[in-house]
Each structure stands twice: as structure tokens, then as C-alpha cells.
Amino acid sequence: MAHIDLKNDLPGIRGLMAYSPDTEKPLNMLAEILLHSDDNTLSRGDREMIGAYVSSLNDCFFCQNVHGALAQHYFQCDMPFIDNIKRDPIAAQISDKLKALLAIAGSVQKGGKYVTPEQITQAKKVGATDKEIHDTVLIAAAFCMFNRYVDGLGTWAPQDRQIYVERAKIRAEEGYTNMNLQRVVPGELPEKG
Amino acid sequence: MPHINLGNDLPGMRGLMAFSPATAEPMNLLAEILLRSNDGLTPTERELIGTHVSYLNDCFFCQHAHAAIACHYLNSDKELVDDVRENPAAANISNKLKALLNIAALVQNGGKYVTPEAVAKAKQEGATDKDIHDTVLIAAMFCMANRYVDGLGAITPTDLSTYPPRAKQVAENGYGNHIFSAKQPTAQ
């Protein structure tokens, strides 16, 4: 149960966003630019994967499943493929560039000062631009905010991971701004007693 | 030196925002709502929460930038701001603010570190649901801002006399893209 009365039964960050519409707007604006906008040389899949990876390091069940499912949607892969990246990005079948960016994101998750010049050099060596490194750091940092917001207020999360896969199609289509918070997929909300 | 070429020599968050104005806009909107609102928590209390979290994240730029803003609101009571930044439990502030700063410190560790007991204590001291919501989101926002600033190796002035003039600019005009696009204030 959430630590405060959210006056709604929506899961994860959607419950928080329905509770606090003022802060919902800039949060979703930021998510739209960083994760969904096509004005970016990193693919949507790569950007969602960075978010899913950081969320898994932060042990945030809701966020890692929402954004893991989005990466799965964009990569057109299965769930074990995403789980393998989260578990061990170095061993995963992904580009060297994404591996280098995930290494930077992993350091950001620990704290800004953990990012090393060597990690930056490596990312540039495998083709990452300054803007891509900037976006990686800010995506990782933003998820350190989102994860803490979601778990710090004790929101609930659907345990059936397939629900996140169903929702990912909606989010990929709608994007993050003007999000219809109330739109739910079958089986998503708990049975009312 | 920053890890990437920012194309400007502005300090801290300002240099990053000037490099990426598109993401600066929602970040400044969020900061304006969370740090300037007088609904429930005061702007001073909000800045103190951000200052303490930045201190815990060891982010030199953010802790001194926001300490200077809190100090501006508090008519230059630097001693109080320094006490809250480093050890709120012993500072001369309300029990309610102490309980909220405790929640903020738990958020800094990670969302799951927030306990029902910490929340109950804040409510017992008079914190509303909105106060608790805002505290958690302010603390979380600084966990983003601190990582953004240090993760890209932003320029960090070590001369503390450069922080109050920029703090005055934020206190007077709020958060917005003007903080990097307007003429930069200089030390007195």
C-alpha cells in the first residue's frame, strides 16, 4: 500500500501522476524528449533499454518492467533477451556502442562521480557522440529519480510481467506527453473486493 | 573539465542546460513547481531538502548552489543552512522538517529505504500527504540533478563567493531557461 493516500488505484508512477498532475506534466515532457522523441540518433529501443537497466540496478520492479517491455517492443525480441541484457550487458548480443553506454549508465546509477574518463573514451571509440553520452547520463539520472519516486512512496505494481508487454504497445504509440493515465489493459488493476 | 564538449563555460547545471535546452525546459518547470511553491512546504524548506540530499550525494555544485538560495531566503543565516545541510537532526528547525529531511535521506539511499515508521513520524509531526509527496519527489529530483552534474563532470566553481549572486538571480526570477540564457551574475 502506498505511504500516502493517492485517491486512486492506478499502479506505479501512474498513480503518482494522477495524484499530482502539476508535476506529471514536466516529468512526462522529460520522458518524451529523452525516450520517445525521434529527434535523437539513439534508437528508442536503446534509450528504453538504458532506463530498464538502471531501474533493474535500482531494484524497481515497476519501472524495469515498463521500460524493459518497451525495449522488447522496439527490439522485437523476447523477454529473456531483455533479462539477459539487464543481468549482464557485456555478454549480451548488443552493439559495442550500447554496451559502452550501459556501462556509463551503470556508473551514473551508483553516483555521478563513478563515471570514469576511460568509460567516456571507450564510448567515443565505439562511435558515441557527445550528445549521445549526454543523453545516456541524463536518462540514467532521470531513472534514479523515477525509481525513487515510485518506490519511495510505496506504490504497488502488477506482478504479471505480460501486462507490461501489453501496455508497451500503447505507450510506444501514444508517447509520454498527454498520457491517458486512466487507460488500463485487461487484468491490470486488482479485483475490487 | 566536462566529459563532453559543452560548447560553453557556464558552471554546473547551467552549462549542461545551455548544451541541451530541450531537456532544460521540463527540468526547470519541475524545479519551479517543486522548489518555489508555497503550498504546504515553504520555498526555504524545499531548498533545504535539496541541499541536504545534494550533500549526501557529495555534489559540490548543487549543495552550494541550493544552500545559497536557502541562505538568501533566510536573510543570510548561513550557520543554520550549514547545520541543516550536514546534520539536520541537530539543527534548529521544526520537528516536522527534521522528519521530512529524514525521509529525504532515505530516498537518497533508494526508494525502498523509506519505512512506514519514517512516514508515520512525519505525519505525527504534522506533515500532510502532499508534504510527504513533495519531499520524496524533491529528494528524487536531486538524485537526478546531482548525477547529471557530476556524471558529465560539469564545471564546479570552488570559490564559494560565486554562488550567492547566482542564488539571488534564482530567488528573484525563479527557475527557467533564463538561468543560462540571461547574462550571468558576477561575484560582488
Tell me: the pLDDT tens digits for A30-65? 999 999 999 999 999 999 999 999 999 999 999 999
Are A138 and A146 spatial neighbours (Cβ–Cβ below 8 Å)? no
Residue B127 is part of which domain span? Answer: 30-177
Which residues on chain A are in Cβ contact (under 8 Å) with B23?
30, 33-34, 138
**Cβ distance of A3 and B132 shorter than 8 Å:** yes
Return the closest-CA partner of residue B163 out of B71, B42, B52. Answer: B71
Nearest to B146 among A3, A112, A142 (CB): A112
For the ranges A68-72, A75-79, A175-179, B157-161, the lowest mean pLDDT is seen at: A175-179
Asked whether the whole model's pTM tops 0.95, one would answer: yes
CATH number at residue B113: 1.20.1290.10
Which positions ≥6 away from B93 have C-beta within 8 Å?
A: B48, B80, B84, B101
B33 alpha-carbon distance from chain centroid: 13
> In A76-160, which residue ranges form alpha helices assigned H by DSSP?
79-87, 96-110, 117-125, 130-152
Cite the DSSP H helix spans in B5-128: 12-19, 21-36, 43-56, 60-73, 78-86, 95-109, 116-124
Nearest-angstrom CA–CA distance, B33 and B42: 12
| Residues A113, B29: C-beta atoms closer than 8 Å | no
Phi, psi of B73 (to 5 degrees): -65, -30
Q: Which residue of A has its CA nearest to B142?
A: A145
Average pLDDT over chain B, rounded to whole? 97
- Say if residue A193's pLDDT is above 70: no
What distance in Å separates the CA atoms of residue B48 and residue B101, rounded to the nearest whole number? 8
Rounded to a whole number, what is the distance in Å from the CA of A51 to chain B's nearest CA?
13
Instruction: Judge whether B164 lies within some domain.
Output: yes
B60 within some domain: yes
Identify the pLDDT of residue B187: 66
Within a domain: residue B137?
yes
Asked if residue B1 belongs to a domain, the reply is: no
Domains of chain A: residue spans and CATH? 40-174 (1.20.1290.10)
Residues of chain B in contact with residue A17, where contact means CB-CB under 8 angstroms, are: none
**A188's grid cell:** 491490470
Q: Does the beta-carbon distance from B3 to A152 stay under 8 Å?
A: no
Q: How many domains does chain B have?
A: 1
